[in-house]
Amino acid sequence: MDTTLLFTTGLMSLSYLVVAFVITPANARYLLAGYNTMSEEKRQAFDIDRYLTIFFKPFFKKLTLFPPLSLLVLTAFLEAEEAIIAWSIIQGLPFAWFLWRSYAFQR
């Protein structure tokens, strides 16, 4: 495998891990998209501790494994160029699921 691809995969995984540990209830009002634009009234009604503990942090910790595992699987079944293209496209899939599941916490 190409060094650039391995570096990119590692950097993505590290970025997801950093997000999982850096976002806290104390700084979410500044760093967490959507929460930082809520009115104070909506922010008070939203259980940020529950959201971060039950959903957000576990999601990003698990997401840390997605880039290297998906790359490993794809390179096992596809040619190098095809694997890179497929890998690049599927990196967005977990975020579609993330948005769908996040919506449940707003109700």
The C-alpha atoms of residue 4 and residue 68 are separated, in whole angstroms, by 13
The number of C-alpha atoms within 13 Å of 31 and in the hemisphere containing its C-beta is: 14
Q: Are residues 20 and 64 in contact, defined by beta-carbon separation less than 8 angstroms?
A: yes
Q: pTM of this prediction?
A: 0.86
The C-alpha atoms of residue 21 and residue 9 are separated, in whole angstroms, by 19
Q: Both tokens of residue 53? A: 């503990």
pLDDT in tens, the chain (107 residues): 678 888 999 999 999 999 999 999 999 999 998 899 999 999 999 999 999 999 999 999 999 999 999 999 999 999 989 999 999 999 999 999 999 998 887 76
The C-alpha atoms of residue 49 and residue 2 are separated, in whole angstroms, by 41
